[in-house]
Protein backbone atom coordinates (compact mmCIF):
# COMPACT_ATOMS: atom_id res chain seq x y z
CA UNK A 1 0.00 0.00 0.00
CA UNK A 2 2.91 2.35 0.86
CA UNK A 3 6.47 1.70 -0.28
CA UNK A 4 9.33 4.14 0.31
CA UNK A 5 12.87 3.45 -0.90
CA UNK A 6 16.04 5.41 -0.06
CA UNK A 7 14.09 8.59 0.73
CA UNK A 8 16.19 11.70 1.25
CA UNK A 9 14.85 15.13 2.24
CA UNK A 10 17.08 18.16 2.54
CA UNK A 11 16.30 21.72 3.54
CA UNK A 12 19.27 23.70 2.29
CA UNK A 13 22.32 22.22 3.97
CA UNK A 14 20.26 20.32 6.55
CA UNK A 15 19.42 16.69 5.78
CA UNK A 16 16.33 15.50 7.67
CA UNK A 17 15.68 12.11 6.06
CA UNK A 18 18.78 10.10 5.15
CA UNK A 19 17.92 7.25 2.81
CA UNK A 20 14.79 6.12 4.67
CA UNK A 21 13.08 2.81 3.77
CA UNK A 22 9.47 2.23 4.85
CA UNK A 23 6.65 -0.10 3.82
CA UNK A 24 3.06 -0.55 4.99
CA UNK A 25 0.72 -3.38 4.03
CA UNK A 26 -3.03 -2.85 3.43
CA UNK A 27 -4.96 -2.68 6.70
CA UNK A 28 -1.92 -2.05 8.92
CA UNK A 29 -1.97 0.66 11.59
CA UNK A 30 1.61 1.89 11.93
CA UNK A 31 2.68 4.24 14.72
CA UNK A 32 5.71 6.27 13.62
CA UNK A 33 7.55 7.27 16.78
CA UNK A 34 10.66 9.31 17.44
CA UNK A 35 12.09 12.34 19.24
CA UNK A 36 11.37 15.95 18.26
CA UNK A 37 13.23 16.84 15.10
CA UNK A 38 13.47 13.23 13.89
CA UNK A 39 11.59 14.09 10.69
CA UNK A 40 8.19 12.51 11.41
CA UNK A 41 6.10 15.46 10.21
CA UNK A 42 8.39 16.01 7.22
CA UNK A 43 7.89 12.38 6.23
CA UNK A 44 4.10 12.54 6.54
CA UNK A 45 4.06 15.73 4.48
CA UNK A 46 5.93 13.88 1.72
CA UNK A 47 3.42 10.99 1.86
CA UNK A 48 0.58 13.53 1.70
CA UNK A 49 2.20 15.10 -1.41
CA UNK A 50 2.58 18.41 0.44
CA UNK A 51 6.38 18.29 0.20
CA UNK A 52 8.63 16.89 -2.53
CA UNK A 53 11.38 14.37 -1.76
CA UNK A 54 14.94 15.38 -2.58
CA UNK A 55 15.86 11.83 -3.62
CA UNK A 56 14.31 8.38 -3.47
CA UNK A 57 11.09 6.65 -4.49
CA UNK A 58 7.64 6.96 -2.91
CA UNK A 59 4.76 4.72 -4.05
CA UNK A 60 1.27 4.94 -2.56
CA UNK A 61 -1.59 2.68 -3.66
CA UNK A 62 0.28 1.96 -6.88
CA UNK A 63 1.03 5.59 -7.77
CA UNK A 64 4.37 7.41 -7.66
CA UNK A 65 5.05 10.69 -5.93
CA UNK A 66 5.40 13.45 -6.80
CA UNK A 67 4.42 12.77 -10.42
CA UNK A 68 1.03 11.17 -9.68
CA UNK A 69 0.06 13.33 -6.70
CA UNK A 70 -3.55 13.90 -7.80
CA UNK A 71 -4.21 10.14 -7.94
CA UNK A 72 -2.62 9.71 -4.50
CA UNK A 73 -4.68 12.51 -2.93
CA UNK A 74 -7.90 10.86 -4.08
CA UNK A 75 -7.00 7.78 -2.03
CA UNK A 76 -5.65 9.61 1.00
CA UNK A 77 -7.05 11.31 4.11
CA UNK A 78 -4.83 13.59 6.22
CA UNK A 79 -5.30 14.79 9.81
CA UNK A 80 -2.76 17.02 11.56
CA UNK A 81 -2.81 18.92 14.85
CA UNK A 82 -4.32 21.79 12.81
CA UNK A 83 -7.99 20.95 12.04
CA UNK A 84 -8.05 22.78 8.65
CA UNK A 85 -11.73 23.70 9.05
CA UNK A 86 -13.69 26.89 8.38
CA UNK A 87 -14.75 28.39 11.71
CA UNK A 88 -17.57 30.51 10.29
CA UNK A 89 -19.24 27.49 8.69
CA UNK A 90 -21.21 24.78 10.47
CA UNK A 91 -19.93 21.23 10.67
CA UNK A 92 -22.37 20.23 7.96
CA UNK A 93 -21.33 23.13 5.71
CA UNK A 94 -17.65 22.26 6.16
CA UNK A 95 -18.26 18.67 5.10
CA UNK A 96 -20.48 19.76 2.20
CA UNK A 97 -17.67 22.00 0.95
CA UNK A 98 -15.15 19.14 1.05
CA UNK A 99 -17.68 16.74 -0.49
CA UNK A 100 -17.88 19.05 -3.53
CA UNK A 101 -14.09 19.12 -3.75
CA UNK A 102 -13.99 15.32 -3.76
CA UNK A 103 -16.94 15.01 -6.15
CA UNK A 104 -18.91 12.80 -3.78
CA UNK A 105 -22.30 11.68 -5.08
CA UNK A 106 -25.22 11.56 -2.59
CA UNK A 107 -23.10 13.64 -0.24
CA UNK A 108 -25.86 14.40 2.28
CA UNK A 109 -26.17 10.74 3.21
CA UNK A 110 -22.40 10.40 3.54
CA UNK A 111 -22.15 13.60 5.62
CA UNK A 112 -24.72 12.27 8.09
CA UNK A 113 -22.88 8.93 8.28
CA UNK A 114 -19.56 10.66 9.01
CA UNK A 115 -21.05 13.02 11.63
CA UNK A 116 -22.56 10.03 13.43
CA UNK A 117 -19.21 8.21 13.30
CA UNK A 118 -17.36 11.11 14.97
CA UNK A 119 -20.18 11.78 17.46
CA UNK A 120 -21.21 15.21 16.16
CA UNK A 121 -24.59 14.53 14.56
CA UNK A 122 -26.41 16.61 17.22
CA UNK A 123 -24.03 19.55 16.63
CA UNK A 124 -24.08 19.49 12.83
CA UNK A 125 -25.62 22.98 12.52
CA UNK A 126 -23.34 24.68 15.06
CA UNK A 127 -20.55 26.95 13.84
CA UNK A 128 -17.17 25.23 14.08
CA UNK A 129 -15.64 28.21 15.90
CA UNK A 130 -17.97 27.37 18.81
CA UNK A 131 -16.53 23.83 19.01
CA UNK A 132 -14.02 22.73 21.61
CA UNK A 133 -10.56 21.69 20.44
CA UNK A 134 -11.50 18.03 20.75
CA UNK A 135 -14.70 18.46 18.75
CA UNK A 136 -12.79 20.25 16.00
CA UNK A 137 -10.31 17.40 15.84
CA UNK A 138 -13.10 14.83 15.59
CA UNK A 139 -14.66 16.83 12.76
CA UNK A 140 -11.24 17.02 11.09
CA UNK A 141 -11.14 13.23 11.08
CA UNK A 142 -14.63 13.24 9.57
CA UNK A 143 -13.35 15.57 6.85
CA UNK A 144 -10.37 13.29 6.19
CA UNK A 145 -12.45 10.11 5.75
CA UNK A 146 -15.42 11.74 3.98
CA UNK A 147 -14.33 10.42 0.57
CA UNK A 148 -13.68 6.94 2.04
CA UNK A 149 -9.90 6.92 1.47
CA UNK A 150 -7.86 3.74 1.50
CA UNK A 151 -5.11 5.38 3.58
CA UNK A 152 -5.29 7.89 6.46
CA UNK A 153 -2.30 9.83 7.81
CA UNK A 154 -2.48 11.25 11.35
CA UNK A 155 0.21 13.73 12.40
CA UNK A 156 0.16 14.15 16.20
CA UNK A 157 -3.67 14.16 16.34
CA UNK A 158 -3.73 14.38 20.16
CA UNK A 159 -1.79 17.65 20.39
CA UNK A 160 -3.57 20.15 22.63
CA UNK A 161 -6.37 17.79 23.71
CA UNK A 162 -7.39 17.21 27.33
CA UNK A 163 -7.92 13.72 28.73
CA UNK A 164 -11.65 13.54 27.95
CA UNK A 165 -11.16 14.75 24.37
CA UNK A 166 -8.26 12.32 23.90
CA UNK A 167 -10.41 9.42 25.11
CA UNK A 168 -13.16 10.35 22.65
CA UNK A 169 -10.56 10.59 19.88
CA UNK A 170 -9.35 7.08 20.78
CA UNK A 171 -12.81 5.73 19.93
CA UNK A 172 -12.93 7.58 16.60
CA UNK A 173 -9.44 6.40 15.59
CA UNK A 174 -10.33 2.79 16.43
CA UNK A 175 -13.47 3.13 14.32
CA UNK A 176 -11.50 4.50 11.37
CA UNK A 177 -8.96 1.66 11.63
CA UNK A 178 -11.63 -1.01 12.10
CA UNK A 179 -13.04 -0.19 8.68
CA UNK A 180 -10.00 -1.80 7.06
CA UNK A 181 -8.11 1.37 6.22
CA UNK A 182 -4.34 1.61 6.21
CA UNK A 183 -3.23 4.08 8.90
CA UNK A 184 0.08 5.82 9.62
CA UNK A 185 0.16 7.96 12.78
CA UNK A 186 2.92 9.99 14.37
CA UNK A 187 2.65 10.47 18.12
CA UNK A 188 4.59 11.40 21.23
CA UNK A 189 2.10 9.47 23.37
CA UNK A 190 3.56 5.96 23.61
CA UNK A 191 0.70 4.63 25.74
CA UNK A 192 -1.92 5.65 23.18
CA UNK A 193 0.19 4.41 20.29
CA UNK A 194 0.61 1.05 22.02
CA UNK A 195 -3.17 0.77 22.41
CA UNK A 196 -4.01 1.67 18.81
CA UNK A 197 -1.30 0.50 16.43
CA UNK A 198 -0.51 -2.94 15.03
CA UNK A 199 3.12 -1.97 14.29
CA UNK A 200 5.64 0.48 15.71
CA UNK A 201 8.44 2.08 13.68
CA UNK A 202 11.08 4.25 15.37
CA UNK A 203 12.44 7.13 13.29
CA UNK A 204 15.85 8.27 14.46
CA UNK A 205 18.63 10.18 12.70
CA UNK A 206 16.66 10.25 9.46
CA UNK A 207 16.06 6.47 9.09
CA UNK A 208 13.86 3.77 10.59
CA UNK A 209 16.04 2.55 13.46
CA UNK A 210 13.74 -0.31 14.52
CA UNK A 211 10.37 -1.84 13.71
CA UNK A 212 8.19 -4.29 15.67
CA UNK A 213 4.67 -5.64 15.63
CA UNK A 214 2.31 -5.35 18.59
CA UNK A 215 2.93 -9.03 19.40
CA UNK A 216 6.71 -8.54 19.42
CA UNK A 217 6.49 -5.45 21.61
CA UNK A 218 4.27 -7.21 24.17
CA UNK A 219 7.21 -9.46 25.05
CA UNK A 220 8.84 -6.39 26.65
CA UNK A 221 6.92 -3.11 26.36
CA UNK A 222 6.82 -0.23 23.94
CA UNK A 223 8.80 2.16 26.14
CA UNK A 224 11.71 -0.29 26.45
CA UNK A 225 11.64 -1.01 22.73
CA UNK A 226 11.63 2.76 22.02
CA UNK A 227 14.56 3.44 24.35
CA UNK A 228 16.63 0.59 22.92
CA UNK A 229 15.98 1.75 19.34
CA UNK A 230 17.12 5.30 20.13
CA UNK A 231 20.16 4.08 22.07
CA UNK A 232 21.24 1.88 19.16
Q: Which of 142, 186, 173 is nearest to 38 (CA)?
A: 186
Q: Are 162 and 134 in contact (CB under 8 A)?
A: yes
Give pLDDT tens digits for 177-220: 988 999 999 998 899 999 999 999 999 999 999 999 999 998 77
Give pLDDT tens digits for 27-38: 999 999 999 889
pLDDT at 148: 92
- Quick one: pLDDT band at residue 113, thresholds 50, 70, 90? very high
pLDDT over 70 percentage in the chain: 100
User: Around Cβ 155, how many Cβ atoms within 10 Å?
Assistant: 22
- What is the set of domains in the chain, with CATH numbers? 2-75+149-231 (3.40.50.300), 84-147 (no CATH)
Question: Over the chain, what is the mean pLDDT?
Answer: 94
Q: Which of 34, 32, 132 is nearest to 91 (CA)?
A: 132
Q: What is the CA angle 109-168-87, rounded to 5?
A: 60
Q: Are 201 and 30 in contact (CB under 8 A)?
A: yes
Question: Please, which residues bridge with residue 55 across strands?
Answer: 8
pLDDT at 65: 95
Amino acid sequence: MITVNKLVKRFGLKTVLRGMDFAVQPGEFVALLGPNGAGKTTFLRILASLSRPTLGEVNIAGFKLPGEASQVRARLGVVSHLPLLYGDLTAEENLRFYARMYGIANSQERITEVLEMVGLENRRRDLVRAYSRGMQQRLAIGRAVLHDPEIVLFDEPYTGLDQDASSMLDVVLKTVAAQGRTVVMTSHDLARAEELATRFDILSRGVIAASATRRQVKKTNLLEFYKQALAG
